[in-house]
């Protein structure tokens, strides 16, 4: 396969994300309670998630012939040998269903399981975050960077609450309590993709969560890294795409933040 033009591909992915976002925005006003399915405890899905994923797959397929997919709703299970798209068509489904305005389309691209392109489109604010291997990170065409804050005590941290996997709940709550006393505060938006986009543009200094999936973080990994941030798992290693525990943060507070995480995990 010839060398990919990631910049050109990213432009097309942004267009696909925005088109899907427009569909999601319209459908939110029509959604009825009986159209919501329960996949597992506290894991919800609607026709909007599924139709959005189908539309994204259709739009992305021509961009890289032979590429496969890792998708949340598994509307396709075709895997590629080298390249795979990693898609969450609607990250923040519970927010979407309850009418809380924070949810995103998240599209990542991996090459041999390494994230090389990411697009996160936060639908309600019409904010498109994107980056690719070797590029700066962008928000609606303007270059973005992680926060320059140097102290954890001056930092705002994002997280997600465990809602089905409670195996590490005690450690999570102990870390949460410690961060309550050692940071400027914690926020839980309900969309990991949005959290990562906000780390990339400096709104949050760090984000952490466990029991995540590749489609939750793939796009955000690229955007955070290209914005000057760092990512790892709770143990400080690079098993963050498929390993289920995840930390992202700005360079200035990352080491101090990881000391807190490693204390409990």
Contacts for 151 with CB less than 8 Å, ≥ 6 apart: 252, 253, 256
Residue at token pair 């360079």: 251
Mean pLDDT of the chain: 93
CB 110 within 8 A of CB 88: no
| pLDDT, greater one: 72 or 248 | 248
HEC sequence for 83-147 = EEEEEEEEECHHHHHHCCCCCEEEEEEEECCEEEEEEEEECCCCEEEEEECCCCEEECCEEECCC
Three-class DSSP category at 187: strand
Give residue limits of the domains in the chain. Answer: 6-143, 152-264
Confidence (pLDDT) at 168 = 86
CATH of domain 152-264: 3.40.190.80
* pTM of the complete model: 0.95
- Burial code (b: 16+ CB inside 10 Å, e: under 16) for 207-224 equals bbbbbbbbbbbbbbbbbb
6-143 shares its CATH topology with 152-264:
no
Confidence (pLDDT) at 42 = 44
Among 85, 105, 93, residue whose Cα is nearest residue 214:
85
Provide mean pLDDT across the span 230-239.
Answer: 97
Cα torsion through 178, 182, 188, 189, rounded to 10: -160
For 155-197, write each residue's pLDDT tens digit.
999 999 877 777 888 999 999 999 999 999 999 999 999 999 9
For 10-59, write each residue's pLDDT tens digit.
999 999 999 999 999 998 888 776 677 676 554 556 788 899 999 999 99
Residue 254 corresponds to which tokens in the numbers above? 């990352």
Task: Work out whether strand 142-144 and strand 137-139 pair parallel, antiparallel, or are unpaired.
Answer: antiparallel
Which residue intervals of the chain are DSSP H helices?
6-28, 47-60, 93-98, 169-182, 192-200, 214-226, 251-264
Q: Which CATH class is domain 6-143?
A: alpha beta
């Amino acid at each position: 396969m010839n060398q990919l033009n990631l910049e050109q591909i990213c432009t097309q992915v942004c267009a696909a994300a925005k088109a899907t976002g427009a569909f999601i925005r319209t459908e939110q006003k029509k959604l009825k309670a009986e159209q919501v399915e329960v996949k597992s405890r506290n894991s919800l899905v609607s026709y909007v998630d599924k139709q959005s994923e189908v539309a994204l797959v259709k739009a992305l397929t021509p961009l890289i012939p032979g590429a496969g997919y890792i998708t949340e709703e598994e509307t396709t299970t075709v895997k590629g040998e080298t390249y795979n798209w990693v898609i969450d068509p609607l990250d923040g489904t519970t927010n979407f269903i309850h009418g809380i305005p924070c949810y995103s389309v998240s599209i990542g691209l991996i090459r041999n399981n390494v994230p090389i392109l990411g697009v996160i489109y936060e639908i309600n604010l019409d904010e498109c975050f994107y980056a690719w291997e070797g590029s700066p990170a962008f928000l609606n065409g303007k270059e973005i960077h992680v926060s320059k804050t140097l102290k954890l005590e001056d930092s705002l941290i994002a997280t997600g609450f465990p809602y089905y996997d409670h195996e590490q709940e005690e450690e999570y709550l102990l870390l949460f309590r410690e961060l309550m006393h050692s940071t400027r505060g914690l926020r839980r938006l309900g969309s990991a993709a949005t959290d990562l986009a906000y780390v990339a543009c400096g709104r949050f200094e760090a984000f952490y969560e466990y029991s995540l999936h590749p489609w939750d973080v793939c796009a955000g990994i690229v955007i955070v890294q290209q914005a000057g941030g760092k990512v790892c798992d709770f143990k400080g290693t690079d098993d963050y795409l498929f390993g289920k525990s995840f930390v992202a943060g700005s360079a200035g507070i990352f080491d101090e933040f990881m000391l807190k995480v490693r204390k409990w995990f």
